[in-house]
Chain A
């Protein structure tokens, strides 16, 4: 990862933090996950455990977002 990419990462992460916190997103976990994947990608060491964790997380988030909204006023 070059310096420019790292600065872009930092700038964007800082910019998005307040809104992610406000919407209840696990900010620390996500940033750590992004960093780990980035590092592993650069080193060619992406592990099956990392991929499995990402898969599990996406499945859960898709299921949550795709669920029907409860009726209004409930």
Chain B
């Protein structure tokens, strides 16, 4: 069990590193504005960045359900879900605004989503999981 916990800490840390902003794709989750519009590629990049972190967290959740993760895993997962459960409506809005080139609203939602992403990673970090830093 200890091994699994250690693996998860490493996995989350590396998963954070693997978040696509630092994996060499040139992703920059910077504050957006009308003069710095959100492109479809950037929308895809933040979605992949979130998904990369989720990929590892899903593994943690599966291990938790299987009873092979650490004993605090349920509490940890629920704490992180407080952030991830706010993401679907924001992601949906962002897609709509980007599709319709509504840059004013796209920038607002993009910035909300990146802030949520930061909180979600910070929350994981407070629980002992280093999920990396935003570039």
Residues of A within 8 A of B (CB): 1, 5-6, 8-9, 12-13, 15-16, 19-20, 22-25, 30, 33-34, 37-38, 40-42, 46, 50-51, 54-55, 57-59, 61-66, 69-70, 72
Contact = CB atoms under 8 A, between A and B. Distances in A.
Interface of B: 7-8, 10-11, 14-15, 17-18, 20, 22-26, 40-41, 43-45, 47-48, 50-52, 54-65, 74, 77-78, 81, 84-85, 87-88, 91, 95
A61 B44 CA distance: 15
B55 A37 contact: no
16 contacts: A5-B25, A9-B25, A12-B22, A19-B56, A22-B11, A23-B8, A33-B48, A34-B25, A38-B25, A41-B45, A58-B50, A61-B58, A62-B54, A62-B87, A66-B84, A66-B88
A20 B55 contact: yes
